[in-house]
Amino acid sequence: MTVAELVGDEGGRWKVHTEKSFYIMDLEAMTVMRYPGPNASPTINDRARPIRRLEKCRVGEHGYWTMDEDGPLDPNESYWQATTIIQRIEPLGEERDRA
């Protein structure tokens, strides 16, 4: 089963496939982690970060969301992620992690 879009209130864990990487979104814990593909450069977002706001996560479009740092951060500051085109969004079950 796949979905066309995530808005943030779905709950559960999701694997978001893009052209160059994939992301694990845990919408229960409200965290996201980027896993770069073989042709993608590493970034500071290649670790779990708290999701501040899920702006856009729709198949066929670029994804965009903002994140907080784990530690103290100015409330007016945030990290952001703009992805390559999202190709597929699928739910992750309890038994699957990042397969």
**Domain that includes residue 58, residue range:** 13-92
The answer to whether residue 8 is domain-embedded is: no
The answer to whether residue 2 is domain-embedded is: no
Where residue 41 falls (left for φ over 0; alpha for ψ -120 to 50; beta otherwise) is: beta
Q: How many domains does the chain have?
A: 1
Q: Which of 8-17, 71-80, 87-96 has the highest mean pLDDT?
A: 8-17
pLDDT digits (tens, 9 = 90+) for 13-60: 999 999 999 999 999 999 999 999 998 899 888 999 999 999 999 999
The answer to whether residue 7 is domain-embedded is: no
The answer to whether residue 98 is domain-embedded is: no
